[in-house]
Amino acid sequence: MCALSMNSIFLLTVELLNFHSLQSDLVNHCCSFPLRQHVRSLVVLCLCCRLRMSAEENPAAEPAPVIDVQGDGRWMSQHNRFVQECKDAEPDVLFVGDSMVQLMQQYEVWRELFSPLHALNFGVGGDTTCNVLWRLQNGELDNIRPRVRKRFFFICSNSFNSICYEVKCVFNAGIAFLFVFPQVVVLWVGTNNHEHTADQVAGGILAIVQLLLSRLPKCKIIVLGLLPRGEFPNPLREKNAAVNNLLRTSLPQLGPVQLIDVGGGFVHSDGTISSRDMFDFLHLTASAYRTISTSLHELLLQLLEETPQERRASLV
């Protein structure tokens, strides 16, 4: 067994953090299995602590509205519309993010795959993690109405309580009214955080996830990974990849959260991105949206399936 001092372990941990790698050959070859596991645990802990910075330490996790430099108030108007939609809709799925989310609603794939799932689209072009945090903290989650489902029960007592944990249940004359809150939130934001480092962007996304879990504690969350951008390899593409790597390590620590990599097929073997997939080498075309939406739709269907408890309640 290799005898490493605490100082050596600390230096090794810092080195691993700098390279964002939990599978370092240095760890694998220099440490025995038990020590290797401790080192990796320490790396995960340090990563999570580093990403969960407060707003004072991480500017990407500080809620902020968009400054209306153009003077037409469009951003605030969109926010107010979303707040109103919360009052009028009964969503099962909530999409939140920037233009990647917003543009999805303009294509047929939205009406074909996501509208039937009772989905709301709260995407705003140009938004950063700061803007999404502000919107969610200022009304966009406050008035979401639960969707009502009826279940008929042939029972003489209203003491039946083993209802699915996503719902609230009220009995009236043998009918159970199930008030179903949004079960899944799809989050896609971060590519517009140009002024922030990869660590800060990942921390901002984590702050949004933590807010969603606190406000909608029974929901499941899907975080879509940041897409590669630019026709040719460039620093912003590398930064987005680094954000995804950080999220892949830290998101599982938060709860029912999944990270989905939706950009793996858009970079060709020569490192280029085609305009057939991204018309401006950033935003997706209709065919590219369909490519990523198929697997996302399948996952949403799985997450929206009735739980065993709800199925049992339906059959009583």
280 is catalytic: yes
Q: Does 220 share its domain with 123?
A: yes
**What is the rounded distance in angstroms from the CA atom of residue 223 to the CA atom of residue 208?**
10
Write the pLDDT tens digit of every residue in 171-195: 444 555 555 556 899 999 999 999 9
Our measurement of the distance from residue 49's CA atom to the centroid of its chain's CA atoms, rounded to an integer in Å, reads 19
Same domain, 205 and 259: yes
pTM of the model: 0.75
CATH of the domain at 304: 3.40.50.1110
Check 99, 127, 199, 250 and give the catalytic one. 99
Q: Which residues of the chain have pLDDT under 70?
A: 1-56, 145-182, 306-316
Residue-range definition of the domain harbouring residue 12: 6-51
Rg (CA), the chain: 22
Q: Which pLDDT score, from 0 to 100, does residue 9 have?
A: 41
Same domain, 35 and 168: no
- Let me know if residue 66 belongs to a domain: no
Catalytic: 99?
A: yes
Q: What is the pLDDT of residue 217?
A: 87
Q: What was the pLDDT predicted at 18?
A: 42
What is the per-residue pLDDT across 133-174, written as a single tens digit (0 to 9) for each? 999 999 999 877 555 554 444 333 344 343 333 444 444 445
Counted residue by residue, the chain has a size of 316
29/163 same-domain check? no
145, 12, 6: which is closest to 85 by C-alpha?
145
Query: Buried b vs exposed e over 72-88: b needs ≥16 C-beta within 10 Å?
Result: eeebeebbeebbebbee
Q: Cα separations (Å) of 127 from 101, 218, 234?
A: 10, 26, 21
Tell me which of 20, 115, 274, 283 is the catalytic residue.
Answer: 283
Closest CA to 174 of 187, 157, 188: 157
